[in-house]
Amino acid sequence: MGKKKSKHAFLLFFLIGVCLTAGLPASVLGAAKPIVIGGSLPLTGQYAETGQWIERGMRYWAEEVNAKGGLLGRPVEFKIYDDQSEVSKAVTFAEKAITVDKVDLLFGGYPGTAARAVMAVAEKHKYVYVSMGGHMKSFQQGYTYSFGAPPLMGEWWYEGFFQWLATLPANQRPKRAAVYTINNPVGLSLMDSINRWTKKLGIQVVINEKYNAPLADATPLIVKAKQLNCDLLFSNGFFPDGVTTIKAAKALNYNPKAIVQGIGSVIPAWVKELGRDGDYVFSGTSLYNKLNYPGNDKLNAYVKKKYGLDGYPLYFGFGYAWMQTLEQGVRGANSLNQTKIRDWLKTHKVHTIAGPMTFDKNGLPPPINFCTQIIDGKVELIWPKNIRTREPVYPKPAWK
């Protein structure tokens, strides 16, 4: 009997090993304890439209991983709290996920203000945190467990737009700029490239004002920009205030040569809310569904089937890419030990739908500077030229 039990035990371990090696679905592995990945997203409140797309991207990543046998031979599952678009709640839930739920891994949050605050929590508890970060200053705090893969870097956000603008003859460029900026770290980070490039291109900043969210009415801002003949408008805010600004511009028939929007014009809700009035707005991105990197076609096909969209929304891609990076760190370290994961990411290249990345001492890849423009209701890449999906439309046509 002893020999038979021994043979049965050996056979059982052999079969489990085969399952793990073959990458079979998690169900084959029986009662393997799940790897729990915790944190919070703005599923309600001001940033819910974006937060929900991040969640969808993360969950699609989990479906893929579990269909291939899990991570380290264990299924993955999420513990997601709704922080209701409030930074303080994002911090509270990050603490809870780590200290009470004792999650195995931490996932990235949104917006940059929340991510910036959670980075400090992750560092305190020595948890790897892959997210957009809270723009450049958040990556200059000496944190060693935070990574932007890719980051949502306000300091880089308009680089592509200005690089393209510099290719135009000087007499075709805008001369006078109106700059309206949401008064938080996200909005203020956008000023870095504006300050540098307007001086370089000889564009006069006629208006440079801050406002507090929510922006209930942009009429006074647009009236002033029109009165002062500003032919370049920077709307340095999020989706809700961007929509409010565009509606006011049309209502007052203010039609500058170019409108540049901070965050929000690259999500499906922009076109859904504004229709063709949302066309021709410039913005930036560090990720796009038409990039020629492995995985983008597959995600586009999934989103087409699931949501009826021609390409995956930007923040769906962010959620997926951040989890891709965390996954590669875990597999590379072959461990859930946070320090081992961190050290592996610091010394190896990861491959994501945003392209291959290596990380410097601050947890950042080299700068990424794509410029987008909404054309015919679609987000198109217009710079750099070698990855352009449509010719830019400039100057902006009259309102219809």
**3 state SS for the chain:** CHHHHHHHHHHHHHHHHHHHHHCCCHHHHCCCCCEEEEEEECCCCCCHHHHHHHHHHHHHHHHHHHHCCCECCECEEEEEEECCCCHHHHHHHHHHHHHCCCCCEECCCCCHHHHHHHHHHHHHHCCCEEECECEHHHHHCCCCCEEECCCCCHHHHCHHHHHHHCCCCHHHCCCEEEEEEECCHHHHHCHHHHHHHHHHHCCEEEEEEEECCCCCCCHHHHHHHHHCCCCEEEEECCHHHHHHHHHHHHHCCCCCCEEEECCCCCCHHHHHHHHHHHCCEEEEECCCCCCCCCCHHHHHHHHHHHHCCCCCCHHHHHHHHHHHHHHHHHHHHCCCCHHHHHHHHHHCCEEECCEEECCCCCCCCCCCCEEEEEECCEEEEEECHHHCCCCCCCCCCCCC
Nearest C-alpha neighbor of 371 from the set 387, 358, 359, 382:
382
Could you tell me the sign of the dihedral formed by the alpha carbons of 278, 382, 378, 47, in that order? Answer: negative
CA distance 383 to 366: 17
Where the chain has pLDDT below 70, the residues are 1-31
Angle between helices 296-307 and 314-333 (to 10 degrees): 130
Q: Kindly give, in sequence order, each residue whose CB lies less than 8 Å from that of residue 56, ignoring residues fewer than 6 positions away.
A: 316, 319
297-304 long-range contacts, CB within 8 A, separation 24+ = 299/60, 299/353, 302/60
- Give residue 53's pLDDT: 96
State the pTM of this model. Answer: 0.77
Task: Name the phi and psi angles at 71, rounded to 5.
Answer: -115, 125
Report the interhelical angle of 239-251 vs 219-227 (nearest 10°): 50
Distance, in Å, from the CA atom of 287 to the CA atom of 368, rounded to the nearest integer, reads 9
User: Rounded to 5 degrees, what angle do the CA atoms 272, 275, 276 make?
Assistant: 150
Q: Which of 25, 33, 23 is nearest to 67 (CA)?
A: 25
Domain range 32-152+313-357, CATH architecture: 3-Layer(aba) Sandwich (3.40)
> Rounded CA gap, 46 and 111, in Å?
10
- 32-152+313-357 against 156-262+268-290+370-387: fold identical: yes
**Which CATH number, 3.40.50.2300, 1.10.579.10, 3.40.30.10, 1.10.357.10, labels domain 156-262+268-290+370-387?**
3.40.50.2300
pLDDT for res 25: 46
Q: Which sequence spans correspond to the domains of the chain?
A: 32-152+313-357, 156-262+268-290+370-387
107-135: pLDDT as tens digits = 999 998 999 999 999 999 999 999 999 88
Report how far residue 233's alpha carbon sits from residue 64's, in angstroms, rounded to the nearest whole number.
42
Say which residue the tokens 């400090």 belong to.
Answer: 120
Q: What is the pLDDT of residue 267?
A: 79
- Of 186, 182, 185, 204, which is closest to residue 195 (Cα–Cα)? 204
Taking the C-alpha atoms of residue 383 and residue 196, their distance in angstroms, rounded to an integer, is 19
Predicted pLDDT of residue 168:
98
168 near 199, Cβ under 8 Å? no
Would you say 197 and 158 are in contact if contact means Cβ atoms under 8 Å apart? yes
**Which of 348, 336, 295, 335 lies closest to 317, judged by CA?**
295
